[in-house]
Amino acid sequence: MKKNRKFGKILFITALIISLSFPIVGSAYSKSYSFNISHQVTGSTNHALKNKSTSTTGSGNTYWASGKVKASKSAFKVSLVRFLKSYSTSNITANGKRFSRNFGTVKNNNYNVRVTKTKAGAYGDRVKGKGTIKQ
């Protein structure tokens, strides 16, 4: 009987620890952004980021000025910017597939997202997409 009580206490404590850890795990930062650019755009939304590893995920595709998907793909990069400081991803091909890039560890501050087309295309072509900043 004592073994069952001890097992029950251990089970209860384990369940309590697991249930209390979910709000901590779930409190990670995640905020979305979207873009439709011919060259560059800087968003107006402030992203209040902590001194932590930061990444972005999303997708983007290349379009003709008419709105049709273009066969030759452009490229872009995503940056987190503030006064005199920025963190940028490597180039991302705008091919409609999901991407994931890391900014590294950013300093605790407010940042705006800037998306810059890095591969020139035909006049009027665009890169459209969306993403999420995560910590």
pLDDT for res 22: 52
Is 125:67 a contact under the CB 8 Å cutoff? no
Beta pairing, strands 53-63 & 126-134: antiparallel
Residues 6+ apart with CB under 8 A from 112: 42, 43, 44, 45, 46, 47, 80, 81, 82
Please name the amino acid found at residue 34: S
The Cα 52–Cα 135 span in angstroms is 7
Domains of the chain by start residue, with CATH: 29-134 (2.60.120.260)
**pTM higher than 0.75:** yes
Q: In the prediction, which pLDDT does 3 show?
A: 56
Q: How do residues 61-75 score in pLDDT, each as one tens digit?
A: 999 999 999 999 999
The predicted-structure confidence for 3-48, as pLDDT tens digits, reads as follows: 556 655 555 555 545 555 555 555 589 999 999 999 999 998 899 9
